[in-house]
Structure 1
Amino acid sequence: MFNQESTLVTILNKAADMVILSVLWCICSLPVLTIGAASAALYHTSIRVLRQNRGYAFATFRDSFKENLRQTLPFTALLLFLYALFGVTGYVCWQRPDSMIAGMYVFFSLFSILVCLTVQIHGFALMGRFRLRRQELFTLLVRLTFGHLVKNFLLLCLFLFAVELSIYYPPLLFIVPAGFFFLSSYLQEPVFKKHINYQEEDPLEELSE
C-alpha cells in the first residue's frame, strides 16, 4: 500500500507538492510586483515537478523565481498599470448609465481587462518556461492572445473559477494556485508547441520560432 511506486503514494506526493507550491506562490506574491516572478516560477515548477517528475518542488520554485524576477518586474508593473487604468475608466463610466459613449467605454474597458488577463496568463507561463528575447515574447503573445480564442476562453473561465474559489473559500489558497497552473498547462503546452521549436527534455534554452 505504501510502496513508493503505488498510485496512492504518488497522489499524496503530488498533493503535498501542490500545497508547498501554492504557499510559496502566495508568500512570494505578497509584494504584488513580484506576482509575475511567482507565477512564472509556479508554471515552470508545475511542468517540471508535477508533470515531468523532475526535481523537487521547493528548490525548483526557488531557482525559477530568482531567475525570472528581473525580467518579470517591468511586465508586471505594466499589467498593474493597465488594470488600474481600465478598471478606473470602467468604474467611472459605469456611473453614467444614460450615456451611450460611457457604455462603450465600459465595454471597451471590460474587453481590455480580459485581453490583459489572457496576456498575463500566457506571458508569465512563457517567461517561466522559456528564455525568450523581448521581440520574440511580444510576437508570441500577440499570436497566442488573438489566435486561439477557444482555448483562451477556457483559460479565462478556469482563472476566474480559481479566483472565485479563493475568495469564497480562503483555505483553498493552499492548493488552488498550483491547481490552476497545473490544469492550465494542459491547455497551454499544446499551443506553445505550435509556435515554438524546443526539446521537451530541456525547454529552458534559446529558442527559434
Structure 2
Amino acid sequence: MILGRFFNSRFFEGITKATDVLLIGFYFIICSLPVFTIGASTTALYYAIHKCTFKGKGYTTDFFRSFKSNFKQSTLSWLIFILLFIVLGGDIYITRNMLQPDNPLAASSMFFTVLLAFMVVWSIYHFAYIARFENGFKASFKVSAIIMIANLGWTLLIMAIVIAAIVLVYLFLFLYVFMPGIMACILHPILEKVFRKYMTPEDLAAEEEDLSEI
C-alpha cells in the first residue's frame, strides 16, 4: 500500500519527468554530434519535450520519430542558419579585430552582435514551429520570422534566457549535459503561449481534447 502510494505520488511523477527531460536532452546531444544534424535534433528535442513532458503522452523515444520525419526540412533549415551565423560571426570578428578603433565601421560590431542574437532566437522559433506544425520549407521560415517580430517582448525574454544559459555553461561546463532538456522546458511555455495566438479554433480544440484525455 505504502509502495503503491509512493509510485503514484507527485514526488515520483516529478522524478520520472526530470529523468525524461535529462534523457531527451541526452538524445539531443548525441544526435547533434555530427553538427549538421543540430537542426533535426532541436526540432526533435522540442517535439519530445512537448509531447512527453508537458502533455504526458508518448515516450522519450518519440524524439527519434520526430528526428526522422523532420530530418530533411530541419537539416536544410539548419544549413541556412549556420551560414548566417558564420557570416555574422565573420562580420563581428572583422569589425572588432581588423578595423582601427577610429574607423566609423568599427562601431557596427554591436549591430552585427545584436543581429546574430536575433538570428539565434529566430532559429529557436523556427525549429519549434517545425516540431509543432506542418508547413512548407519557405513558409516555415516566413511564418517563424513574422512570429518572432510580432512578439518582440517574448523574443527579448527568450534572448535573455539563452544568453543566461550560455553564460552558465561557460562558467560551469558540466551544465552542458543538463542544459538542452532544461532549456527546452523553460522555453516551452513561452513558445506555446505565442503559438496559441496563431492556432485555428480546430487546432485549439484538438489541443484541449488531447489534454482532457491525460
TM-score, length basis structure 1? 0.89
Conservation of the 8 A alpha-carbon contact between 1:22 and 1:173: no
**Cα distance, 1:135 vs structure 2:** 4.2
Q: Residues 1-209 of structure 1 correspond to what in structure 2 (within 5 A)?
A: 2=3, 3-57=6-60, 59-95=61-97, 96=99, 97-104=101-108, 106-197=109-200, 198=203, 199-200=206-207
Percent identical? 25
Give the Cα–Cα distance (whole angstroms) in 2 for the partners of residues 174 and 19 of structure 1.
8
CA deviation vs aligned residue, 1:54-107 (integer Å, no higher than 9, x gap): 0111x2111111111111111101111111111111111112221112312x13
Give the Cα–Cα distance (whole angstroms) in 1 for the partners of residues 142 and 148 of structure 2.
10
Q: Name which one, 1 or 2, has greater alpha-carbon Rg.
A: 2
CA deviation vs aligned residue, 1:99-149 (integer Å, no higher than 9, x gap): 112312x13311220221121110010111111123431332222121111
Give the Cα–Cα distance (whole angstroms) in 1 for the partners of residues 138 and 153 of structure 2.
25
Give the Cα–Cα distance (whole angstroms) in 2 for the partners of residues 29 and 163 of structure 1.
17
- Aligned-residue Cα RMSD (Å) equals 1.8
Indicate how the Cα distance of structure 1 residues 183 and 22 shifts in structure 2: closer, same or farther if over 3 A, else same.
Answer: same
The residue type paired with residue 188 of structure 1 is L
Conservation of the 8 A alpha-carbon contact between 2:24 and 2:181: yes
Give the Cα–Cα distance (whole angstroms) in 2 for the partners of residues 144 and 79 of structure 1.
17
CA deviation vs aligned residue, 1:134-191 (integer Å, no higher than 9, x gap): 3431332222121111111111111122222223223222321111011101101011
Show the counterpart of 1:207.
Answer: none
Give the Cα–Cα distance (whole angstroms) in 2 for the partners of residues 202 and 39 of structure 1.
27
Unaligned runs of 5+ in 1: 204-209
Conservation of the 8 A alpha-carbon contact between 1:162 and 1:177: no
Give the Cα–Cα distance (whole angstroms) in 1 for the partners of residues 52 and 116 of structure 2.
31
Give the Cα–Cα distance (whole angstroms) in 2 for the partners of residues 136 and 87 of structure 1.
26
Give the Cα–Cα distance (whole angstroms) in 2 for the partners of residues 193 and 113 of structure 1.
27
Conservation of the 8 A alpha-carbon contact between 1:140 and 1:195: no
TM-score, length basis structure 2? 0.87
